[in-house]
Amino acid sequence: MNDYLVKALACDGNIRAYAARTTETVGEAQRRHQTWRTASAALGRTMTAGVMMGAMLKGDEKLTIKIDGGGPLGAILVDSNAKGEVRGYVNNPQVDFESNEQGKLDVRRAVGTDGMLSVVKDIGLRDFFSGQVPLVSGELGEDFTYYFATSEQIPSSVGVGVLVNPDDTILAAGGFILQIMPGTEEEVIAKLEERLKTISPISILIGKGLTPEEILAELFGKDQVKVMETMPVQFHCTCSKQRFADAIVGLGKAEIQAMIEEDGQAEAHCHFCNEKYHYTKEELEQLLQEAK
């Protein structure tokens, strides 16, 4: 089953809702970076929130999320866009802990709680929006909820979850973002808050294999949800051998000459997807000719 997300309206259009299944997407990140269980959960939760936030953008707009809570994981970096494409990495992928008291992966301990969640949106024409909030939980769902309330002034609820198999592969991943539109009556908000208290945790819902539509139906009741759009979701990196070659050319003749003399070759590494690109001496000599 391929990953996808849905954009929907709920409660007579008072609530904008996003829900996503990201099992394959997070699975690919896990394979590429060889993340251990707790690191997979932290990266997967951030990627899941990120791909839904990307779906709030238009056209060629894109965004970058950075979370650095001072924990053993280091920073989490996630890029996403309006096309359902997302990529991401953590500084230290081999991080895992015993489960916490609730029997869940101890994401807070891996991420840390002393730091910031920041979002930079590239909205075209060199125009950027950026927002930054202190981490309030380290579990990440609550941190995104706080980000929306504080930085974007949109009362929201964010639930993101990742379930991991004993062999480190990803069993299930997904989440939702609910946003209350201005002018929504208190009664509707109170009812939603009550529902959020009683509904099973998102990790349980995705573990049961619920689709994004079914997650929203659990939250609002089936007849209260109107799906507006469905979009495929995937891990996608923009790097290529040519892109790194362009970057090498940009270093200038002296630098490339030094690479040729010292190593006789070069290797470029993409942090986002862990791909490595190798350049032979002959290829470097070609790039030397192109450089200034």
Shortest distance, CB of residue 209 to Zn ion, whole angstroms? 30
Shortest distance, CB of residue 145 to Zn ion, whole angstroms? 30
Q: Specify whether the CB–CB gap between 115 and 69 falls below 8 A.
A: yes
How many residues bind to Zn ion according to rule CB under 5 A?
6
Q: Is 27 helix (H, G, I), strand (E, B) or coil?
A: helix
Nearer Cβ to Zn ion, position 15 or 237? 237
Among 54, 19, 7, 21, smallest CA distance to 226 is for 7
Q: Specify whether the CB–CB gap between 202 and 141 falls below 8 A.
A: yes
| CA atoms within a 13 Å half-sphere pointing along the CA-CB vector of 173 | 33
**φ and ψ at residue 123, rounded to 5 degrees:** -105, 25
Q: What is the DSSP letter of 70?
A: S
Does position 239 bind Zn ion by CB under 5 A? yes
Per-residue string for binding with Zn ion, 120-149, x by CB under 5 A?
------------------------------
Shortest distance, CB of residue 28 to Zn ion, whole angstroms? 12
Nearer Cβ to Zn ion, position 3 or 79? 79
Nearer Cβ to Zn ion, position 25 or 38? 25
Among 31, 57, 60, smallest CA distance to 43 is for 31
- Reported as type and span, the H/E element at residue 15 is strand 15-21
Nearer Cβ to Zn ion, position 206 or 270? 270
Nearer Cβ to Zn ion, position 230 or 240? 240
Shortest distance, CB of residue 35 to Zn ion, whole angstroms? 16
Does position 95 bind Zn ion by CB under 5 A? no
Of positions 57, 273, 284, 287, contacts Zn ion by CB under 5 A: 273
Structure tokens at 251: 């270093």
Among 240, 239, 216, 238, smallest CA distance to 226 is for 216
Q: What is the DSSP letter of 181?
A: P
Of positions 237, 248, 259, 288, contacts Zn ion by CB under 5 A: 237
The residue type at 62: K
Partners of 18 in the beta sheet? Answer: 7, 177
Mark the segment that binds Zn ion (CB under 5 A) among 165-173, 197-205, 229-237, 258-266. 229-237
How many angstroms separate the CA atoms of 166 and 178, rounded?
A: 31
Does position 268 bind Zn ion by CB under 5 A? no
Mark the segment that binds Zn ion (CB under 5 A) among 75-83, 191-199, 232-240, 252-260. 232-240
Mark the segment that binds Zn ion (CB under 5 A) among 3-11, 46-54, 164-172, 239-247. 239-247
Nearer Cβ to Zn ion, position 142 or 275? 275
- Reported as type and span, the H/E element at residue 250 is helix 241-251
Does position 270 bind Zn ion by CB under 5 A? yes
How many angstroms separate the CA atoms of 224 and 86, rounded?
A: 29
Shortest distance, CB of residue 217 to Zn ion, whole angstroms? 36
Of positions 220, 272, 277, 279, contacts Zn ion by CB under 5 A: 272
Does position 78 bind Zn ion by CB under 5 A? no
Beta pairing, strands 85-90 & 234-235? parallel
Chain contacts with Zn ion (rule: CB under 5 A): 237, 239, 270, 272-273, 275
